[in-house]
Amino acid sequence: METVIKVSNRLEGSFALGIMCVDEPDTLVAIKKDNPLIIGVSEHGQFIASDVPAVLKHTNQVYYLDDKEIAVLRKDSVQFWGMDKEPLQKKLETVTWSLDSAEKGGYEHFMLKEIMEQPKALRDTIQAAAGCNKDALDSLDITQFDKIVITACGSAFNAGVVARYVFERLCRLSVEVELASEFRYKDAIVDDKTLVILVSQSGETADTIAAMREAKDRGAFTLAIVNVVGSTISKEADVCLLTAAGPEIAVATTKAFSAQLVVLYMLAVRFATSLGQISGDAGLLAEIAALPDKVAEILSHVDSIQKYASTCVGYKSIFFIGRNIDYAIALEGSLKLKEISYIHSEAYAGGELKHGTISLVEEDTLVVALANCERLFSKIMSNVEQVVSRGAKVLLIGSCKDNESDDRITLIGLPEGHELFSPSLSVVVLQLFSYYVAANKGLDIDKPRNLAKSVTVE
């Protein structure tokens, strides 16, 4: 152990190590810094892993190792030590995720299984607001803040962009959304009057952890939305709200993203009520509570999406457009497509087409247009007409119905509902579209090239 302490003190950067010695072949020593590492405990042995799903076949009993804590594993015991060689007492946690949730269950890919699990993930996350998340919510007084900053990476960042529209509309409070990798270096303007919301599926995203620590150093109050109990962010944030998506195996997030959206919606409604911006939240909460059934309705009619996606394999570029909150979810649709299909895609605010991006539209370009904002329907349809007149084909997704017949426009309708929560419906179609495009290309959907589930390094 003394050697491990000396070596780890000289190491730079982040690491998670499992160390064995030829003189003690029955002993495994583990230590970490800024990387996830868990200890699984069972009657037939002990395990180290970076995430819970890796050990679920063997046990649901785990220890979460903190930075620079040393775990000494033997077949029938686990001991913990600090860098000062003093013994530590750690709490053994019981993971509620089932083994079935970490297996394909008859689906060809984990991603498709996880898309189909979204109604349950949403119901469980909504229920958690009245259970494990209630105390955390009750402890938060939004009236003490004059600004909200949401920081995250990847899809979690896109959830933050959606949330900005919801928070600002309902709460009438200034909201900024920052990429965590930029927040940590930009000399952010945050103080003790700032609420910083951190969004991360794993709770171990390196840039988001660094952003959280930077925010705390500047006096900001931090609120985390994560899917993993015991993760670094969940432990270090001032308040933590847990999503109930269960284990997500596919690299491209689906159900965890949807669960993040629901938590952000409910947070916005709660804040708006506390700030006196809305007099009653029952109607909005009822809209949120209806989302699982509406998502289930979409998932019961996937044939049209699958059929359309089969015609899109040959595209080199696909563009996504939307207005207002539809633009926010278009960002996620574009990211999902490029992640797993390797087709170049970009998302644009519809009003920006004429400022340069329409030059990319040519004959047989595919444009995916989102149309859920009734007051902006004529605007987005004007954008659709602009790209169609230049030879583009359009996939129109939304609850606002297009009454015009044009064989260059294919409509996929969504259940009606409040436009602020429509991203939870749009994203399901966008996920399925991306999945079936990639499936028709015969790609490794669950493990796209060059990508990792949790980005634990810069």
Averaged over successive runs of 10 residues, the pLDDT of the chain (458 residues) comes to 86 89 90 89 90 85 90 92 89 79 82 97 92 78 95 97 97 95 92 97 93 96 93 93 92 97 95 90 92 97 94 93 97 97 95 88 91 94 93 92 78 94 98 97 93 72
**What's the first-to-final CA gap in the chain, in angstroms?**
29
Dig out the tokens for 245 from the structure.
């998506």
Q: Which of 247, 160, 261 has the alpha carbon at shortest distance from 453? A: 247
Long-range contacts formed by 185-191: CB under 8 A, 24+ apart: 188/149, 188/214, 188/215, 188/218, 190/147, 190/149, 190/215, 190/218, 190/219, 190/220, 191/218, 191/219, 191/220
CA atoms within 13 A on the CB side of 207: 19
pLDDT at residue 209, as a whole number: 94
Whole-angstrom CA distances from 221 to 46, 202, 260, 267, 380 are 38, 21, 19, 15, 38
Residues ≥6 apart with Cβ < 8 Å to 130: none
Residues in the chain: 458
Longest CA–CA span in the chain (Å) reads 78
Taking a C-beta distance cutoff of 8 angstroms, is the pair 253, 187 a contact? no
Q: Which structure tokens are listed for 333?
A: 């649709």
Residues in Cβ contact with 230 at an 8 Å cutoff, skipping those fewer than 6 apart: 38, 62, 64, 93
Instruction: Go through the domains of the chain in sequence order and give each one's CATH number.
Output: 2-94 (3.60.20.10), 108-298 (3.40.50.10490), 301-440 (3.40.50.10490)
From residue 389, alpha-carbon distances to 28, 379, 393, 406 in Å are: 66, 16, 10, 11
Tell me the three state secondary structure of residue 1: coil
Residue-level pLDDT at 94: 85
Q: If you search the block for the tokens 């002990």, which residue do you land on?
A: 46
The Cα–Cα gap between 263 and 243 comes to: 7
Which pLDDT value is given to residue 99? 64
The CB-side HSE value for 374 (13 A sphere, CA atoms) comes to: 6
Burial class (CB in 10 A: 0-12, 13-18, 19+), 194: buried
The closest of 117, 113, 95 to 103, measured between CA atoms, is 113
- Contacting residues for 4 by C-beta, under 8 A, at least 6 apart: 19, 29, 31, 70
**The pLDDT of residue 406:** 81
Distance (Å, whole) CA 37 – CA 33: 9
Lay out the sheet containing 147-152: strands in order across. 175-179, 147-152, 194-200, 221-226, 239-242
- Whole-angstrom Cα distance, residue 458 to residue 454? 11
Q: Which two tokens stand for residue 269?
A: 């409604």
Residue 376 contacts residue 324 (beta carbons within 8 Å): yes
